[in-house]
Amino acid sequence: MTEAAEDHPGFFTSRLERVIGWARRYSIFQYPFVTACCGMEYMSTASGHYDMDRFGAGLPRFSPRQADVLFVVGTISHKMAPVLRRVYDQMCDPKWVVAFGVCTCTGGFYDNYATVQGIDTIVPVDIYIPGCPPRPEAVLDGLIKLQEKIEKQKQLSYPNVRELKLAEEMADATASGSRPGSRKR
Tell me the per-residue pLDDT of 160-173, one tens digit each, with 9 for 90 and over. 555 566 667 767 76
Phi, psi of 117 (to 5 degrees): -90, 70
Residue 82 has pLDDT above 80, yes or no: yes
Are 60 and 32 in contact by the 8 Å Cβ rule? The answer is yes
Q: How many CB atoms lie within 10 A of CB 79?
A: 9
When pLDDT is cut at 50, 70 and 90, the band that residue 153 belongs to is: confident
Report the alpha-carbon distance of residue 149 to residue 21 in Å, rounded: 9
Q: Is 72 helix (H, G, I), strand (E, B) or coil?
A: strand
Eight-state DSSP code of residue 179: -
pLDDT at 169: 73
Most confident of 23-32, 90-99, 149-158, 175-184: 90-99
Give, in order, the Cα–Cα distances in Å from 183 to each of 31, 110, 161, 171, 178: 45, 53, 20, 14, 9
Res. 158 pLDDT band, cuts 50 70 90: low
DSSP letter (8 states) at residue 67: -
Confidence of residue 5 (pLDDT cuts 50, 70, 90): very low
Most confident of the following: 49-58, 108-117, 175-184: 108-117
Which residues are CB-neighbours of 89 under 8 A, at least 6 positions away?
A: none
DSSP secondary structure letters along 124-177: --SEEE-SSSPPHHHHHHHHHHHHHHHHHS-------HHHHHHHHHHHHHHHHT
Question: What number is the average pLDDT over the span 34-40?
Answer: 81
pTM of the predicted protein model: 0.70
Report pLDDT for 13.
57
Give the number of other Cβ atoms within 10 Å of residue 108's Cβ.
Answer: 19
Q: Which residue has the higher pLDDT, 169 or 183?
A: 169
What span, in angstroms and rounded, lies between the C-alpha atoms of 41 and 44? 5
Query: Facing residues of 127 across strands?
Result: 98
Tens of pLDDT, residues 107-149: 778 778 888 888 888 888 888 988 888 888 888 888 888 888 8
> Which domains does the chain carry?
3-154 (3.40.50.12280), 156-185 (no CATH)
Tell me the Cα Rg of the chain: 21
Phi, psi (degrees; rounded to nearest 5) at 162: -65, -45
Instruction: Report whether pLDDT(182) > 60.
Output: no
Residue 115, beta-bridge partner list: 77
